[in-house]
């Protein structure tokens, strides 16, 4: 028997949809490629302060733990599997092909978010593992501190507010990007005790003024504008990053790079892109829906993702 509803992606949009559907009498199956270790891009967040109901800012990891607690309260689990293909079996059902198993569904809600844009460079096998697009994966040795930071209030990401990890103090990390994600990552790295050199291709930082002011005033973040990365190679135990500014070649060294140069919808499950082009929650295929960053095609806000989750659940009541 097919599952009535399958949700792909356990970030804020997918979790919200699952909880609301359970409240409305449905029993959705929630699938995420990383199980509860994924749970959306928000896990990378330095701090979330514009989500309604928060008494004080919290780290993205703390907020996602609260989302997962909400999921548990409604006795909903996350199935860990990577869906690679969605096939319309009949006019009223779908087959979801996963790496581990296959699933049948009457309704499919895609809430798997976006993927990071990669550097437009050819990186060798010895360089690629040191170029990171996900902040949490970059520092697995600090996962515990990341998860336990400021559980009730405050906004520390690694350790308690005001503390710096002594083992990492002054270790230099190169960050790349000028948007909100790059700035947010840089603040998280500085909070962890790194000295961050943020390379920006343009001549200014983008995003909201509050975030920009936090970055500019942070003594552990050095800003370098109009830097175009031309090459990344391995030199001994470090990376050598070659940039060019006004025809002048510059060399930077760091053990690792953290890159945030945009997001994009990459995984379409072998479905035609035109299905999703209008960015409406309900696609032109019956029973196929899209929500959250996957629908928006870019980096959104937690509140926007939650709104999409609630909206799709209300649509399915009358579907």
Which pLDDT does position 277 carry in this prediction? Answer: 87
The total of structural domains in the chain comes to 2
Do 221 and 146 belong to one domain? yes
Q: Which two tokens stand for residue 86?
A: 């969605």
How far, in Å, CA of 270 to CA of 83, rounded?
Answer: 11
Q: Are 219 and 93 in contact (CB under 8 A)?
A: no
Do 218 and 140 belong to one domain? yes
User: What b/e readout covers 227-248, taking b as 16+ CB neighbours within 10 angstroms?
Assistant: bebeebeeeeeebebebeeeee
Do 148 and 225 belong to one domain? yes
Q: What is the mean pLDDT of each run of 10 residues along the chain (319 residues)?
A: 84 96 96 80 82 87 90 94 92 92 96 92 94 79 43 34 44 93 92 91 93 95 96 93 93 94 89 91 95 85 94 93
Which pLDDT does position 140 carry in this prediction? Answer: 56
Do 11 and 143 belong to one domain? no
- Total residue length of the chain: 319
Q: Which domain holds residue 227?
A: 118-259
Do 68 and 81 belong to one domain? yes
Do 179 and 223 belong to one domain? yes
Do 203 and 302 belong to one domain? no
44 burial via Cβ count (<10 Å: 0-12, 13-18, 19+)? buried
Angle at 144 between CA 138 and CA 147, to 5 degrees: 90
How far, in Å, CA of 168 to CA of 143, rounded?
Answer: 14
Q: Are 149 and 160 in contact (CB under 8 A)?
A: yes
Do 98 and 124 belong to one domain? no
Do 71 and 185 belong to one domain? no
Do 131 and 249 belong to one domain? yes
How far, in Å, CA of 38 to CA of 127, rounded?
Answer: 24
CATH at 229: 3.50.50.60
The helix (run of H) or strand (run of E) holding residue 96 is: strand 93-98
Return the closest-CA partner of residue 312 out of 284, 276, 287: 287
> pLDDT tens, 81-129?
999 999 998 777 999 999 999 999 999 999 998 889 999 999 999 999 9
DSSP-derived letter for residue 118 is P
Do 153 and 196 belong to one domain? yes
Residue with tokens 């499919």: 108
Which pLDDT does position 299 carry in this prediction? Answer: 67
DSSP-derived letter for residue 119 is P
Instruction: Give the list of residues 6+ apart from residue 140 with CB closer than 8 angstroms, or none.
Output: none
Do 122 and 111 belong to one domain? no
Which of 259, 284, 309 corresponds to the end of one domain? 259
The whole-angstrom distance between residue 192's C-alpha and the CA centroid of its chain comes to 19
Residue with tokens 């199935």: 79
Q: Which two tokens stand for residue 278?
A: 């209008």
DSSP-derived letter for residue 11 is S
């Amino acid at each position: 028997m097919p599952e009535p509803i399958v949700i792909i992606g356990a970030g804020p949009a997918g979790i919200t949809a699952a909880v609301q559907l359970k409240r409305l009498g449905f029993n959705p199956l929630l699938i995420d490629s990383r199980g509860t270790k994924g749970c959306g891009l928000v896990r990378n967040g330095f701090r979330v302060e514009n989500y309604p109901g928060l008494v004080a800012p919290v780290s993205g990891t703390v907020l996602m733990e609260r989302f997962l607690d909400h999921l548990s309260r409604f006795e909903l689990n996350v199935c860990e599997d990577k869906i690679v293909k969605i096939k319309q079996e009949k006019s009223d059902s779908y087959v979801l092909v996963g790496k581990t198993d296959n699933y049948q569904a009457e309704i499919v809600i895609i809430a798997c978010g976006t993927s990071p844009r990669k550097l437009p460079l050819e990186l060798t096998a010895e360089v690629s593992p040191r170029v990171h697009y996900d902040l949490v994966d970059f520092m697995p040795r600090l996962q515990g501190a990341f998860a336990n930071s400021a559980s009730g209030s405050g906004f520390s990401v690694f350790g308690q507010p005001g503390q710096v990890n002594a083992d990492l103090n002054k270790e230099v990390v190169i960050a790349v990007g000028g948007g909100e994600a790059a700035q947010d990552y840089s603040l998280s790295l500085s909070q962890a005790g790194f000295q961050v050199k943020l390379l920006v291709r343009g001549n200014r930082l983008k995003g909201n003024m509050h975030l920009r002011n936090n970055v500019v005033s942070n003594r552990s973040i050095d800003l370098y504008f109009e830097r175009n990365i031309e090459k990344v190679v391995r030199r001994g135990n470090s990376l050598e990053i070659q940039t060019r500014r006004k025809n002048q070649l510059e060399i930077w060294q760091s053990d690792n790079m953290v890159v945030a140069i945009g997001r994009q919808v990459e995984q379409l499950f072998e479905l035609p892109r035109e299905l999703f082009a209008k960015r409406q929650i309900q696609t032109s295929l019956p029973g196929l829906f899209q929500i959250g960053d996957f629908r928006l095609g870019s980096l959104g806000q937690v509140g926007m993702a939650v709104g999409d989750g609630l909206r799709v659940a209300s649509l399915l009541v009358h579907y």
